[in-house]
Structure 1
């Protein structure tokens, strides 16, 4: 485990340390090395208030087992709000790219992955990579934060009709401005330069409606960005590897094939 930032952490707030133990932890990144061409940077889900281990470490160990280098990011969550979270995500991509030689990976084969709110964060950096969310702090920040591929597991995408209330509240506040809702409704910002994307969701998800994934896929389709999507008929929200539901657990096999198709392994 390494600190994601060096001396300067944008939007760091010392007052949060006394109010919330989680907020006292500085953002970190943990490597799970393998002999692969590329790497996947994982943002665990948790409604922007926690970071679920079964959507972080569990994914990383599985990716490592199929021969792919993975990184798990402990990004900031509530009481931090936007743009602290996306700053950590951008920094993580820059960090892995900067240290690509150290981990024996190609700096042009870096994917981001996230579930639920972590999926929102992965998609955020995939569409907003060209926006300056913080001032450069060191040499690492001179690297590009644009991912080369995106993996979204039952992601939060919309901040309006199909929103996840907890994620929206924790990220942009209960009384968020319309402009912030627009900015964080990520399907609205897909362009032909958005990275190719793998998406899976269940149609029975009651926490984050499947429309979130459908809207993102539709936006990708309209600008002819390559994507693969799997919608499963059963399963609640937050399944992670989904080993308890074999039909849904097929997503891992599909993802492995997609990873090979995109020459990450």
Structure 2
């Protein structure tokens, strides 16, 4: 049985934050948990649902290659995409996600924070219905996979409200989740080396990932 983690870097839907890409995949493979990790560079500058369709296709490809449990690690705008893939069920078990780690993720398309990403993905005049349909908190159901969420209270670009919104929805539906909001640190920390208390997120996540990647029934929670 193998666990595959797809790393989805941020970058505002317009570029890739490289420090949230291969360095994160290398950290994951170095944990000693038997995790295979890869970076997925989704289409940029395109409208929803093009990036989501691309990520789902990558999940199905890895599933066909033998991955039993597939998780996602996403940051900022990449965290939004990872969350969509984990929560917006498409009825195809091959694209199911077993767990997700989101760092300072954009979770709501209904807030005013980080509107540039929203405008790229949905358009400046996106109707309220589309903004709601692409907000992660609106997509949570009791069958959602476990989530590990982390953020910093000082994030000026993606307010911690985003993480609180998703965490509240997960709690309301009894979905297993872990939430860490650190008091200090800017947006875009990545692995957060040397960032004080926020640097401990990787240690906490490693413990959590060990639970998620333990032997389990394929396509289901353990």
Equivalent residue number for residue 40 of structure 2: 73
Is 1:151–2:89 an aligned residue pair?
no
Is 1:173–2:139 an aligned residue pair?
no
Is 1:48–2:8 an aligned residue pair?
no
2:7–2:21 Cα contact (<8 Å) kept: yes
Among 104, 109, 132, the alignment partner of 1:182 is 132
Q: CA deviation at 1:143?
A: 5.7
1:47–1:117 Cα contact (<8 Å) kept: yes
TM-score (norm. length: structure 1): 0.77
Among 86, 89, 93, the alignment partner of 2:52 is 86
- Map 1:1-265 to 2 at 5 A: 37-67=2-32, 68-78=35-45, 80-100=46-66, 105=67, 107=68, 109-130=69-90, 144-264=94-214
In 1: Cα distance, 2:149 partner to 2:56 partner = 20
Q: CA deviation at 1:162?
A: 4.7
Give the CA RMSD over aligned residues. 1.5
What do residues 30-65 of structure 1 show as CA deviations (whole Å, max 9, x unaligned)? xxxxxx831211111011111111111110011111
CA gap 1:192/1:158 in 2 versus in 1, 3 angstroms:
same
In 1: Cα distance, 2:175 partner to 2:213 partner = 17
1:86–1:121 Cα contact (<8 Å) kept: yes
In 1: Cα distance, 2:90 partner to 2:144 partner = 11
Q: CA deviation at 1:146?
A: 1.3
Q: CA deviation at 1:186?
A: 1.2
Q: Which has the larger radius of gyration?
A: 1
Q: Which runs of 5+ in 1 are unaligned?
A: 1-35, 132-141
Secondary structure (helix, strand or coil) at the match of 2:40 reads strand
Q: CA deviation at 1:232?
A: 0.2
Q: Count the aligned residue pairs.
A: 213
Q: CA deviation at 1:71?
A: 1.2
In 2: Cα distance, 1:66 partner to 1:113 partner = 14
Divergent runs of 4+, >4 A: none
Q: CA deviation at 1:130?
A: 2.3
2:113–2:157 Cα contact (<8 Å) kept: no
